[in-house]
Structure 1
Amino acid sequence: MIWPFKPSFRKQIARIEVTGAIAGATRKQVLEALKTIEEKKFPALLLRIDSPGGTVGDSQEIYSALKKLGEKVKIVASFGNISASGGVYIAMGAHHIVANPGTITGSIGVILRGNNIERLLEKIGVSFKVIKSGPYKDILSFDRELTEAEKEILQQLIDTSYGQFVQTVAEARKLAVETVKSFADGRIFTGEQALNLGVIDRLGTEEDARRWAAELVGLDPEKTRCYTFEERKPPLSRILGSSQASSKFSAGVGWLDFELSTSGQPLWMYRP
């Protein structure tokens, strides 16, 4: 990917906005942007997050890339209206976190959902014949209930993923694991509550986060601008200047598509 840069980009702060559910498309775009930020030697990154979370693997990859970038670039995360679950997880890759007092955050935990339409299939006279190599090969199949053994297997999977989340928050925020567990039960809380819990560093706006990022690298916050990395638009849209241009990296799919595509996957997501 080739991004246009002005000669003064080293005196600019890079900015990425992650919005909506975190999924594969978001991960790919964010990782490309982070690589470019490192290559072009931006001194700081403002990471704006307005997301309820998303898939575990994609959130982990974004977090890992942020941690690596943080060895060379100062990163300040800014929570928008909502930054929950996987949104919190990726923010752990930042050096500092700012949130609005009323930001909805938290929801630290894991959820896995499957669909069971067994009774509907019975009503319409549809059944399936399954030949499988092992008893758990069709775990979470939509045409039957889970067995107790399958529930135990899935619970172990969830518990492992949950442990990874708690450990990451504890290390990033310099909190005891047991302290994190005391509020990492899936509950949501405000930015003000998050400050009291130690999940964030300051209350403030995105502008406050931008100024902090500038100060951290010795730039004048009054003069320093942000270079926002945007989603790549189709060539025709770039030529015509589409009014739908976005400065956000999002999943790029509707909620129904996301639900269907992630059925049976463990998610770090706030799902009211």
Structure 2
Amino acid sequence: RDLRLDDDVQAVVLRVNSPGGSAIASEVIKEELELLREEKPVIVSMGNVAASGGYWISMAANEIIAQPNTITGSIGVFGLFFNLEDFSENVGLSWDVVQTSPLANTQTISRPKTEEELALLERFVNQIYQRFTTEVSEWRNLSMEEVEAASQGRIWSGLAAERVGLVDRVGGLQMAIEVAAEAAELGDEWTLQEYPRTRPFAERFLEELFGTSSQVVLPEPLESFRQQMETQLSNLSTYNDPQGLYMRLPFEIEIE
């Protein structure tokens, strides 16, 4: 939104390097990118991973450029709901509930879901998946048969994604910058500015806890503990969708 309202910005290259996340957050980002696209060119440059929710937001771009080894696609949706019943019993914590209808307590973490609740939540997941595939069909100009062949949670390399129509071309960040400048008809009179980085939740939390960020090495065994905690917090902080619905790779990918 800031870039859309900034008259000095003539084109935007969005670097996507994400396995996805909250379904609601993905839609909010995509809506802003659609508004941005109405006023200036938006080119997506995919990094190592641009999957699921990462692909959802990419669809709103004028053009998608993936690296040859980009892990992309993962057009799928799942629901994740925590259940702390056993944990609560182990620590002596009890729960009291007052509700006015059978489904008023659906989002509780104090017990397993009932069959009726699971059926309702599964319907939500299916509705979002149907919307996901429909939007892929519309944005990428693919038939629903072609989309189904490329979706159902499948992941593709950048090269394979180009063949099935999920991306426009294969290349790196520099190519995306050149395409954006050309789309905005900037000629040679332009400069490149990187939008400020937002510090992740895990980094801010660890700085509060240890008085230092992850960029500073602590003495052992604190350093090992900090690294483990950073990974766990980073993973846990991604599961914050208000409805518990996610467009995300269901596993972690580590590229060395």
The answer to whether the 8 A contact 2:4-2:39 is kept is no
Q: 1:170 aligns with which of 137, 140, 145?
A: 137
Task: For 1:131 and 1:193, locate their aligned partners in 2 and report how far apart those are by CA, in whole Å.
Answer: 53
Structure 1 residue 125 displacement after superposition? 4.7
What corresponds to 2:124 in structure 1?
A: 157
8 A contact 1:113–1:263 mirrored in 2: no
Counterpart residue number, 1:33: 3
CA RMSD of aligned residues (A): 2.4
Q: How far off is 1:254 after superposition?
A: 2.9
Tell me the CA shift for residue 232 of structure 1: 7.1
SS at match of 2:83: coil
Equivalent-residue separation in structure 1 for 2:12 and 2:90 (angstroms): 56
Whether 1:269 aligns to 2:236 is: no
Residue 226 of structure 1 aligns to a residue in which SS? coil
Aligned pair partner of 2:234 in 238, 250, 254: 254
User: In structure 2, what is the Cα distance between the partners aligned to 1:271 and 1:224?
Assistant: 41
* Counterpart residue number, 1:227: 193
Residue 69 to residue 117, structure 1, CA distance change in 2 (3 Å): closer
How far is the alpha carbon of 1:41 from its aligned partner? 5.2
Q: 1:50 to 1:150 in 2, by over 3 A?
A: same
Q: Which amino acid aligns with 1:33?
A: L
2:65 pairs with 1:112:
no
- Mapping of residues 30-109 of structure 1, within 5 Å: 31-36=1-6, 40=7, 42-109=9-76
**Displacement of 1:136:** 1.2
Structure 1 residues 72 and 258: alpha-carbon distance in aligned structure 2, compared to 1, 3 A threshold: closer
Shift of 1:128: 1.9
CA distance in structure 1 between the aligned counterparts of 2:77 and 2:144, rounded to whole angstroms: 16
Structure 2 stretches of 5 or more lacking a match? 200-214, 216-232, 252-256
Counterpart of 2:211 in structure 1 is none
Matched residue of 1:199: which SS?
coil
Judge conservation of contact 2:22–2:238 (CA < 8 Å) in 1: no
Q: Equivalents in 1 of 2:16, 2:156: separation in Å? A: 16
Q: What TM-score, normalized by structure 1, do the two folds share?
A: 0.73
Task: For 1:35, give the aligned amino acid.
Answer: L
Tell me how far apart the structure 2 counterparts of residues 195 and 232 of structure 1 sit (CA, whole Å): 31
The alpha-carbon deviation at position 265 of structure 1 amounts to 1.7
Displacement of 1:35: 2.7
Contact 2:24–2:241 under 8 Å retained in 1: no
Taking the aligned partners of 2:127 and 2:5, their CA distance within structure 1 comes to 30
User: CA deviation digits over 1:37-82, x for unaligned, max 9?
Assistant: xxx0533211111111122222212212222222221111100111
Pick from 187, 190, 214 the counterpart of residue 181 of structure 2.
214
The answer to whether the aligner puts 1:136 opposite 2:103 as a matched pair is yes
Displacement, 1:256? 2.6
Q: Judging changes above 3 Å, is the alpha-carbon distance between structure 1 residues 100 and 232 closer, same or farther for their aligned structure 2 residues?
A: closer
Say if 1:107 and 1:75 are closer, same or farther in 2 by CA, change over 3 A.
same
The structure-2 alpha-carbon separation of the partners of 1:117 and 1:232, relative to structure 1 and needing over 3 Å to count, comes to closer
Residues 100 and 204, structure 1, Cα contact 8 Å, conserved in 2: yes
Distance in 2 between the 1:123 and 1:254 partners? 26
Take 2:3 and 2:116, find their aligned partners in 1: how far apart are those partners? 43
Give distance in 2, aligned partners of 1:232 and 1:80. Answer: 18
With over 3 angstroms needed to count, the CA separation of the structure-2 counterparts of 1:145 and 1:97, relative to structure 1, is: same
Counterpart of 2:148 in structure 1 is 181
Secondary structure of 1:128's counterpart equals coil
Identical columns (%):
32
